[in-house]
Amino acid sequence: MAIRCTNLILLTIIASISSALRPNMIIFLADDVGYGDLKSYGHPTQEWGPIDDLAEEGMKFTSLYSTSSLCSPSRAALLTGRLPIRIGVYGKLMNFYLQSPNGLPKDEITLPEILRDVGYATGMVGKWHLGINDYTPMSGVHLPHYHGFDWVGTNLPYTNVWECDETKRHMDAPDPFNCFMYNNETIIQQPFSHQHLTKTFVDEVSTFIKQQTEKDKPFFLYLSFVHNHVAMFTGKDTKFTSRRGIYGAGIRELSWGVGEIMKKIKSLGIDNNTLIFFTSDNGGHIELCSEGGNNGILKGGKANYYEGGIRVPGILRWPGQISAGTINSNIVSQMDTFTTFVNLAGGKAPSDRVIDGRDITQQIFGSLKLKNETKTEKRILFFYCNDMLFAVRYGSYKVHFYTMPVKSKEEYTDTCGEGGFPSTMYFNCLYCPSDCVIKHDPPLIFNVDADPGEEYQLDPALHKLLLLEVKYLLEKHNSGWIKGEDLLSAYNQPSQPCCDSSKPSCSCNYP
């Protein structure tokens, strides 16, 4: 009876928090930043920065998962609360490319759409990577403005790639066909310059926040940083250095950008009513040597489904509501952001479709206010590569039905030169299905609570009950299954963005 009463009191407190405060909400999304890249997550030489301050002042997740180890699927899931395979963000290209005529489907309901409908101002800057055009080079029908963002500033609708290198470390000059920047729906640079990029994001976001604060209107902001995806850079306005070299300098600039926004929030007096979530879209790209991320003790990285590819840093901060220095060791999905933010804003998640994200407000404001870690929840998460179910996380265990080979650091000598300098853009294994994908029957089993590095396989014969439970949950997961239409296989050359089609080079660096 006492436990039931305590739970009722807790639920009442949570309900009053969500109905009374309606916090401003900010998602800071890093790009390819690994679980071990930050000082607060254990990197021995990365400099401390404002992101680490967030971890000290709020809640740090130790078992937070992206839904995918690649950009487009993970971002689609974050904004919709749904597995990429349900949305259709799968296919042979694995990501949305420049020439993809598809994008995030219009009939998907996004987090900013729901928040906008309950009175929030919604804004976005940074990397999008969820589609651009359909069958013409400048239609822009898949851009963020069409998915719930009322204000969209400077953005990269595709991404920052190896071919955009301006340092001359890898390229003589950037390739304009791969490197372009928009403001809302208009190309403003092709190729784009990195030199003031992070500062531009910061300045535009600061203005957006100030405007909404003056209107006394709650806001949702999605700041999707370019760091630390290749090509590596630090801008003229920052020019950070690091003991880790150019990669560490990029982490410092990323953290600087977060810190500048935090300064603005505090100066406007809205710190106590602003919920911050920092995370990364997937794990670090380990094949890029010293210019790729660090996933700490976790095995693997970007493009595979060992822990290093999908377990990512995650920090929640909300002064007065989330206790400083809290460690959350429960199994959490980035998709939970969707449902949790919707409920805190007083909105309702769609009831006409499966929403895979959970409302984790009780975990955030309840039992996990303790500073010690808690028992692992017996929750299951599903990880698809393309439309192949690669692995599940279930309670303390990770079960792999397929894997990709992971090289040791010593085996990268053919692609990593002096000091770890990468000689090429490279994945050891990327596509699935492909010859490099390994099927496991019986599946591989690891206890990732005891063995997060997935070094010691467990004997399937000794874990028959576990496998039966997983089989039952898979059958339940698959019942009434509706797989979305494949959106990542179509390719259409005229979809390639071009600032001026009369110029063969598509080069238009406007003043």
Q: DSSP assignment of 229-295, as one string? A: SSSP---TTT----TTTHHHHHHHHHHHHHHHHHHHHHHTT-GGGEEEEEEESS---GGGGGGS---
CATH number listed for the domain at residues 383-478: 3.30.1120.10
Per-residue pLDDT tens digits for 3-51: 444 444 444 444 444 445 799 999 999 999 999 999 999 999 999 999 9
pLDDT at 385: 98
Write down the residue that tokens 């839904």 correspond to: 67
Tokens, residue 235: 């801008």
pLDDT at 366: 66
- 228, 261, 313, 408 from 254: Cα distances, Å: 8, 11, 14, 28
d(CA 69, CA 303): 5
Mean pLDDT of 388-397: 98
Q: Mind giving me the DSSP string for 407-434?
A: --GGGGGGTB-GGG-B-S---SS--SSS
Per-residue pLDDT tens digits for 416-433: 988 899 999 999 999 999
Domain edges within the chain: 21-377, 383-478
d(CA 446, CA 459): 9
Is-contact 74 281, C-beta < 8 A? yes
Q: What percent of the chain has pLDDT over 70?
A: 94
d(CA 391, CA 397): 10
pLDDT at 15: 44
Is-contact 280 31, C-beta < 8 A? yes
More confident site: 237 or 398? 398
Is-contact 40 55, C-beta < 8 A? yes
Is-contact 405 461, C-beta < 8 A? no
Per-residue pLDDT tens digits for 400-420: 999 999 988 778 777 898 889
Q: Is 214 helix (H, G, I), strand (E, B) or coil?
A: helix
Burial class (CB in 10 A: 0-12, 13-18, 19+), 491: middle
Q: Which helix (H) or strand (E) holds 72?
A: helix 71-80
Residue 97 has pLDDT above 80, yes or no: yes
Question: 275-279, 299-303, 385-389, 409-413 — which is least confidently predicted?
Answer: 409-413
pLDDT at 262: 98
Tokens, residue 478: 């698959």
pLDDT at 412: 79
pLDDT at 408: 82
Mean pLDDT of 379-407: 97
Burial class (CB in 10 A: 0-12, 13-18, 19+), 297: middle
Mean pLDDT of 205-220: 98
- Residue 489 has a CB neighbour count (10 Å cut-off) of 14
Residue type, 309: G
pLDDT at 511: 56
Residue 334 has pLDDT above 60, yes or no: yes
Residue 480 has pLDDT above 50, yes or no: yes
pLDDT at 313: 98
d(CA 443, CA 460): 8
pLDDT at 9: 43
Burial class (CB in 10 A: 0-12, 13-18, 19+), 120: buried
Catalytic residues: 71, 129
Burial class (CB in 10 A: 0-12, 13-18, 19+), 47: middle
Residue 347 has pLDDT above 50, yes or no: yes
* Domain at 21-377: CATH architecture: 3-Layer(aba) Sandwich (3.40)
pLDDT at 131: 98
Per-residue pLDDT tens digits for 148-193: 999 999 999 999 999 999 999 999 999 999 999 999 999 999 999 9
Residue 199 has pLDDT above 80, yes or no: yes
Per-residue pLDDT tens digits for 117-138: 999 999 999 999 999 999 988 8
Q: What percent of the chain has pLDDT over 90?
A: 85
- 123, 183, 199, 241, 439 from 154: Cα distances, Å: 11, 4, 11, 25, 43
pTM equals 0.94
Average pLDDT score over the chain: 93
Residue type, 312: V
State residue 407 phi and psi, 5-degree precision.
-80, 155
